Protein backbone atom coordinates (compact mmCIF):
# COMPACT_ATOMS: atom_id res chain seq x y z
CA UNK A 1 0.00 0.00 0.00
CA UNK A 2 1.42 3.39 -0.92
CA UNK A 3 1.54 6.42 1.37
CA UNK A 4 -1.44 8.18 -0.23
CA UNK A 5 -3.65 5.10 0.13
CA UNK A 6 -2.69 4.69 3.79
CA UNK A 7 -3.40 8.36 4.48
CA UNK A 8 -6.74 8.06 2.69
CA UNK A 9 -7.68 5.08 4.88
CA UNK A 10 -6.90 7.19 7.96
CA UNK A 11 -8.92 10.10 6.59
CA UNK A 12 -11.88 7.90 5.67
CA UNK A 13 -12.14 6.28 9.11
CA UNK A 14 -12.17 9.68 10.88
CA UNK A 15 -15.92 9.84 10.24
CA UNK A 16 -16.34 7.09 12.84
CA UNK A 17 -14.57 8.98 15.65
CA UNK A 18 -16.51 9.39 18.88
CA UNK A 19 -15.38 12.77 20.15
CA UNK A 20 -18.32 14.69 21.67
CA UNK A 21 -16.06 16.45 24.20
CA UNK A 22 -13.17 17.65 22.06
CA UNK A 23 -14.91 17.72 18.67
CA UNK A 24 -11.50 16.70 17.33
CA UNK A 25 -11.83 13.58 15.14
CA UNK A 26 -8.63 11.65 14.51
CA UNK A 27 -8.14 8.68 12.20
CA UNK A 28 -5.26 6.24 12.02
CA UNK A 29 -4.28 3.46 9.63
CA UNK A 30 -1.55 1.01 10.62
CA UNK A 31 0.22 -1.02 7.94
CA UNK A 32 1.46 -4.45 9.01
CA UNK A 33 4.44 -6.12 7.34
CA UNK A 34 2.14 -8.62 5.58
CA UNK A 35 0.11 -5.80 4.00
CA UNK A 36 -2.84 -5.94 6.40
CA UNK A 37 -4.15 -2.52 7.44
CA UNK A 38 -5.84 -1.82 10.77
CA UNK A 39 -7.69 1.44 11.30
CA UNK A 40 -8.64 3.28 14.44
CA UNK A 41 -10.38 6.41 15.63
CA UNK A 42 -10.28 8.34 18.86
CA UNK A 43 -12.96 7.20 21.30
CA UNK A 44 -13.65 9.66 24.11
CA UNK A 45 -15.24 9.19 27.49
CA UNK A 46 -16.59 11.66 30.03
CA UNK A 47 -13.72 10.54 32.25
CA UNK A 48 -10.89 11.73 30.02
CA UNK A 49 -8.37 9.16 31.27
CA UNK A 50 -10.59 6.41 29.87
CA UNK A 51 -10.44 7.78 26.33
CA UNK A 52 -8.30 6.14 23.63
CA UNK A 53 -6.44 7.76 20.77
CA UNK A 54 -6.84 6.53 17.20
CA UNK A 55 -3.24 5.34 17.00
CA UNK A 56 -3.57 3.05 20.01
CA UNK A 57 -6.95 1.75 18.84
CA UNK A 58 -5.41 0.69 15.50
CA UNK A 59 -2.37 -0.84 17.19
CA UNK A 60 -4.40 -2.73 19.80
CA UNK A 61 -6.76 -4.05 17.11
CA UNK A 62 -3.76 -5.37 15.16
CA UNK A 63 -2.18 -6.94 18.24
CA UNK A 64 -5.48 -8.54 19.27
CA UNK A 65 -5.62 -10.18 15.82
CA UNK A 66 -2.13 -11.63 16.22
CA UNK A 67 -0.05 -9.10 14.29
CA UNK A 68 3.30 -8.06 15.74
CA UNK A 69 5.29 -6.66 12.79
CA UNK A 70 4.36 -3.08 11.87
CA UNK A 71 5.76 -0.95 9.06
CA UNK A 72 3.96 2.37 8.86
CA UNK A 73 1.25 4.41 10.58
CA UNK A 74 -0.75 7.24 9.03
CA UNK A 75 -2.57 9.57 11.39
CA UNK A 76 -4.79 12.46 10.28
CA UNK A 77 -6.76 15.29 11.84
CA UNK A 78 -7.87 18.84 11.03
CA UNK A 79 -4.45 20.41 11.59
CA UNK A 80 -1.54 20.97 9.20
CA UNK A 81 -0.21 17.60 10.35
CA UNK A 82 -1.47 15.35 13.11
CA UNK A 83 1.12 14.28 15.67
CA UNK A 84 0.74 11.30 18.02
CA UNK A 85 0.47 12.29 21.69
CA UNK A 86 3.07 11.25 24.26
CA UNK A 87 1.13 8.17 25.39
CA UNK A 88 0.79 6.96 21.80
CA UNK A 89 4.47 7.59 21.15
CA UNK A 90 5.41 5.42 24.12
CA UNK A 91 3.07 2.57 23.15
CA UNK A 92 4.09 2.69 19.49
CA UNK A 93 7.79 2.69 20.36
CA UNK A 94 7.42 -0.44 22.48
CA UNK A 95 5.58 -2.40 19.80
CA UNK A 96 7.20 -0.96 16.68
CA UNK A 97 10.56 0.71 17.40
CA UNK A 98 11.32 1.11 13.66
CA UNK A 99 7.85 2.46 12.76
CA UNK A 100 7.56 5.07 10.03
CA UNK A 101 4.85 7.66 10.70
CA UNK A 102 2.93 9.81 8.24
CA UNK A 103 1.41 12.79 10.06
CA UNK A 104 -1.26 14.14 7.75
CA UNK A 105 -4.42 16.14 7.25
CA UNK A 106 -7.65 15.71 5.26
CA UNK A 107 -6.11 17.47 2.23
CA UNK A 108 -3.57 14.70 1.69
CA UNK A 109 -0.61 16.74 2.92
CA UNK A 110 1.71 14.99 5.34
CA UNK A 111 5.04 15.01 7.10
CA UNK A 112 7.10 11.81 7.21
CA UNK A 113 8.96 10.89 10.40
CA UNK A 114 9.76 7.90 12.59
CA UNK A 115 8.81 6.92 16.10
CA UNK A 116 12.48 7.18 17.07
CA UNK A 117 12.53 10.80 15.93
CA UNK A 118 9.34 11.57 17.84
CA UNK A 119 10.47 9.78 21.01
CA UNK A 120 14.26 9.49 21.03
CA UNK A 121 14.52 8.45 24.69
CA UNK A 122 11.75 5.90 25.12
CA UNK A 123 11.00 4.32 28.48
CA UNK A 124 11.74 0.61 28.62
CA UNK A 125 12.01 -2.05 31.29
Is the overall model pTM greater than 0.75, yes or no?
yes
pLDDT of residue 125: 83
- The structural domain count of the chain equals 1
- Is residue 125 in some structural domain? no
Is residue 108's pLDDT more than 90? Answer: yes
- Work out the pLDDT band at 124, boundaries 50, 70, 90: confident
Using one digit for the tens of pLDDT, what is the confidence trace for 52-97?
999 999 999 999 999 999 999 999 999 999 999 999 999 999 999 9
Is there a domain that residue 123 lies in?
Answer: no
Contact 103, 115 (CB under 8 A): no
Structural domain of 57: 3-118
Residue-wise pLDDT for 21-36, tens only, equals 999 999 999 999 999 9
Residue 43 belongs to some domain of the structure: yes
Non-local (6+) Cβ contacts of 46 within 8 A are: 21
Positions marked catalytic: 55
Asked, for residue 21, whether it belongs to a domain, the answer is yes
CATH code for the domain of 113: 3.40.140.10
**Domain membership flag for residue 124:** no
Q: Is residue 69 part of a domain?
A: yes
Amino acid sequence: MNDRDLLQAANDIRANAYCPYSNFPVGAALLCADGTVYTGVNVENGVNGLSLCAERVALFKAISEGHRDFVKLAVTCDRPHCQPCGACRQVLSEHAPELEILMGNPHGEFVRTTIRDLLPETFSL
